[in-house]
Amino acid sequence: MRNVSAFLLRRRGGRGWHWTDIFTWFWLIAGFLVMFGPAVWLVNSSFKTPAALAEFPPTILPYVTAETVVEGYDKPLPLYEVKLPDGTVQVLAEVRRIGIVAQMVDPENPGEIIKVNIQDRTPKRSVSFAFDNYVRPLVVNDFVLYLQNSVFVTVMATLITLLTNSMAAFALSKYNFRGRSAVMMLIVATLMVPLSVILVPLYSVISAMGLFNSLWGVILPTVATPTGVFMLRQYMLTIPDELIDAARMDKASEWQIYWRIILPLTAPALAVLAIFSVVWRWNDFLWPLIVLSRKELYTLQVGLNTYAGELNVQWHYILAMTVVTMIPVVLVFVFLQRFITTGIAGTGLK
Amino acid sequence: MSRITLTDVSRSFGSVKVLHDINLDIRDGELIVFVGPSGCGKSTLLRLIAGLDRPTSGKIAINGEDVTRVAAADRGLAMVFQSYALYPHMSVRQNLAFGLENARMPKPEIEQRIAEAARMLNIEPYLDRRPGQLSGGQRQRVAIGRAIVRNPTAFLLDEPLSNLDAELRISTRAELAALHERLSATMIYVTHDQIEAMTLADRIVVLRDGRIEQVGTPLDLYNKPANLFVAGFIGAPRMNFLPSDKLPGTAGSTVGIRPQHLRAADGKAKLKAKVTLVEALGYETVVHGLLDDLPLLAVLPGQKSFEAGDTIALTYDAENLHAFDEQGQRVD
């Protein structure tokens, strides 16, 4: 433990502070705040009520103003700490506010109205989590259904991606045929074509195939990824050809060579591609939004969009469901970080 | 029965011709060694026989049947690769079973064959390990085992000993020879090491630049090399080559004599050489000398008291001379 703290706290300046020490600490702390701050804000805000979200200045933690029921008033009244003219501080309930004067009552003695300058009172607040933000979309609305759709799309798309991309990569790395590098170049070149360019023709294709308003219409156009083919091919090039020769001598068919020799040996690269594919498909928004127009088919990302109406945005639900949507991706990154870094290091892609 | 016949086999890669009209008849049960410097085409020739590569022209026949266009799997041959090419994700047992499973052999028979091969090669304790957990020698045995279980018509071995250390190489060489004796199967063995070739082979095929230089038993090649290349390649240290006018009473343009066939002259010396370096090995002495500025090597039995700068008198027997003409071909 002492070694750990010694390692973390050691400075270039020894006992003193070298300017690089100060710079490093500043850089790291600022970076931490910039990267982690929004995530903390998102999670905390997802527990705020709509009123607390609209509050200015914003707070980090979700606060609610304490309220109490006072005899003679129908609605619960908000509580304030009031500094009285004699200097004592008392908790009073606000009945109404007129200009800069608030009319307040003592909950113990509801008969008497006390007039207080609003400068002299502060709301009595406590931290409270609005779990309803989570419960309502998940229980009352269709978010569980959206979750199922998202899981289905992600799992199927990832499985098909792994299968097709590895087959393409196998052919492009282990077979010698005329035009092999041209095909490879063509595949990699498609990286330069953004989705928005092919959106309309792709829509026509999907529509003509009758896949409009079907989860397969979301899955199928995404399964052939140039990144995946490129990454797997580069990995397969490192598998010695002698293994394939040996398998041929062992009477293995081409399918067996692929399935029993190449695929198991490509496992590390497949793991990386699987992680990428899960993250990509989980976060997909534009294409599912176009293909899916029936509510029961929505994926999570499209479902989130339903809370942003033209006139009214339900921020509390959006924030809460954004947290839910993020959880799987965060878990993937936390537990499979090692594979992701090797993948990025191995291909120079992300 | 497994007789392999090559007729006018050529192989080109683009415009580069790596094998030129190879004609060879490999007899049943024979251990034949392809030897030659690297890049001579010996591994390519082996791959053609295996079926992993197709000849550009020519014909390959096994037992009289033309297999030139037959796939590797259907030729009934087994190959041991230089890198062993064991499947790293499978246990030794699975490695041995893979080929048999692909041939749809019944499970009990697979088990029995694996057990037999494992016993023969002493790899029983490692059957459930992965290749990565084995030493070089053990991997080598597994690679041979994978060939044996298939019960092939012929074994093709591509430099199987080159990844082993010197000591293990010698013992494995002896084991391979014993294995050949025991299986009495046809084996084709590729190596660049002429000592391996000499010790193992029934017959040696010497290749250079895609051409067969000479085919013969090890002693044929040693005693009657067909040309300068074979003479220089077979035998260690290398044969001395001298212009014929340096050695009185010889024919041809170049005369070769093996360092071991020179001996110190008691009486009349046929050669006088100036010593430049003496390597005393105890049981023999290797003398590097100059004969009128031409390098000359002599291996003399026992221990000698020469020093660099001395002039020594050497002699030889005329029957140990090899004469070659201007084209480098042997003249008798």
Among B47, B71, B99, the residue with its CB nearest the CB of A250 is B99
Fold annotation for B4-231? Rossmann fold (3.40.50)
Cβ separation of A246 and B72 shorter than 8 Å?
A: no
> Residue A319 is inside which H or E element, if any?
helix A315-347
Check whether A119 has a pLDDT greater than 90. Answer: no
Residues of chain B contacting A248 with CB distance shorter than 8 Å? 51-52, 71-73
Helix axis angle, B107-121 to B92-102, nearest 10°: 130
Listed in order, the ranges of chain B carrying CATH 2.40.50.140 are 240-331
What average pLDDT does chain A have? Answer: 87
Q: Is pLDDT of A348 > 80?
A: no
Confidence band (pLDDT; 50, 70, 90) for A345?
low
pLDDT averaged over 10-residue windows placed end to end, chain B, 332 residues: 90 92 93 92 93 93 92 90 92 94 93 93 92 90 92 92 88 90 92 91 94 94 93 90 80 88 83 90 91 89 86 88 90 82
A279 in a domain, yes or no?
yes
Tokens (6 digits) for B55: 């000849």
- For A187, the domain range is 133-347
A33 and A147 share one domain? no
Evaluate the CA torsion angle A213, A216, A217, A218 in order and state its sign: positive
Question: Do A6 and A139 reside in the same domain of the chain?
Answer: no
* Contact indicator for B6, B51 with CB cutoff of 8 Å: no
Partners of B7 in beta bridges: B59
Amino acid B152 reads P
pLDDT number for residue A142: 81
The interface predicted TM-score (ipTM) is 0.85
The verdict on a CB contact (< 8 Å) between B81 and A265 is no
**Distance (Å) from the alpha carbon of A244 to chain B's nearest alpha carbon:** 8
Q: Which 3 state secondary structure label does DSSP give A50?
A: helix
Q: Which of residues 237-276 of A touch B (CB under 8 A)?
A: 240, 242-243, 245-253, 256, 260-261, 264-265
* Cα–Cα distances in angstroms (integers) from residue A230 to residues A58, A161, B245, in the given order: 47, 13, 66
**CB contact at 8 A, B168 and B199:** no
**Above 70 in pLDDT, residue A140?**
yes
**A138 exposure class (CB count in 10 Å sphere: 0-12, 13-18, 19+):** middle
Q: Which residues pair with B300 in a beta bridge?
A: B285
Q: Which of A107, A127, A147 is the last residue before a domain boundary?
A: A127
Residue A267 domain flag: yes
Q: Quick one: which H or E segment has residue B322?
A: strand B322-324
CA A155 to the chain's CA centroid: 17
Q: In what order do the strands lie in the sheet with B294-301?
A: B263-264, B311-315, B271-280, B284-291, B294-301
Q: For residue B162, what pLDDT is reported?
A: 87
pLDDT at A347 over 60: no
The reply to whether A49 falls in a domain is no
- Are A34 and A98 part of one and the same domain? no
Cβ atoms within 10 Å of B240's Cβ, excluding its own: 22
C-alpha B42/C-alpha B287 separation (Å) is 34
Q: What is the mean pLDDT of the segment spanning A177-192?
A: 93
- Rounded to whole angstroms, the Cα distance separating A58 from A178 reads 64
Answer yes or no: is pLDDT of A179 > 90.
yes
Nearest to A284 by CA among A268, A306, A258, A302: A302
Residue of A nearest to B156 (CA): A249
CATH architecture of B240-331: Beta Barrel (2.40)
Which amino acid, one-letter code, is at B131? P
Nearest CB neighbour to B79, from listed A249, A252, A264 = A249
Q: In chain A, how many domains are there? A: 3
DSSP secondary structure letters along B81-124: -TT----TTS-HHHHHHHHHHHTT--HHHHHHHHHHHHHHHT-G
Average pLDDT estimate for A186-203: 91
Residues A336 and A253 in one domain: yes
**The pLDDT of residue A350 is above 70:** no
More confident residue, A81 or B288: B288
d(CA B154, CA B132): 28
Does residue B319 contact residue B263 with C-beta atoms inside 8 Å? no
Residue A230 falls inside a structural domain: yes
The three-state secondary structure class of A122 is strand
Q: What is the pLDDT of residue A344?
A: 65
Using alpha carbons, select from B192, B194, B204, B197 the residue that is nearest to residue B236: B194
Quick: pLDDT tens for A32-80: 999 998 998 899 889 888 878 887 778 788 888 778 888 778 888 888 8
Per CB-CB distance under 8 Å, the chain A contacts of B97 are none
Comparing CA positions, the residue from A111, A101, A77 lying closest to residue A91 is A77
Q: Same domain for A209 and A316?
A: yes
The verdict on A208 and A329 lying in the same domain is: yes
Residue A174 has pLDDT above 90, yes or no: yes
- Average pLDDT on A211-233 reads 93
Above 80 in pLDDT, residue A14? no
Is the CA virtual torsion B95, B100, B102, B104 positive or negative? negative
Single-letter amino acid, residue A5: S
| Mutation site for A-interface testing, chosen from B70, B102, B110 by largest number of A Cβ within 10 Å | B102
What would the mean pLDDT of A202-221 be, rounded to a whole number?
94
Q: How far apart are CA A86 and CA B265, in angstroms?
A: 134
A222 & A145 share domain: yes
Query: Which of the four pLDDT bands, split at 50, 70 and 90, describes residue A99?
Result: confident
CB under 8 A, 24+ apart: contacts of A336-341: A336/A271, A336/A275, A339/A268, A339/A271, A339/A272, A339/A275, A340/A272, A340/A275, A340/A276
pLDDT of residue A339 exceeding 80? no
- The minimal CB distance from A240 to the residues B77, B79, B85 is found for B85
Beta carbons of B218 and B201 less than 8 angstroms apart: yes
Evaluate the CA torsion angle B182, B186, B192, B197 in order and state its sign.
positive
Does a structural domain hold residue A170? yes
Angle at A42 between CA A41 and CA A43, to 5 degrees: 95
For residue A292, is it within any domain? yes
Sort strands B154-158 and B186-191 into parallel, antiparallel or unpaired.
parallel
Cα separation, B258 vs B235, whole angstroms: 8
Pair A123, A137 in one domain: no
Tell me how crowded residue A113 is: count the other CB atoms within 10 A of its CB: 11
**Cα(B279)–Cα(B287) distance, integer angstroms:** 6
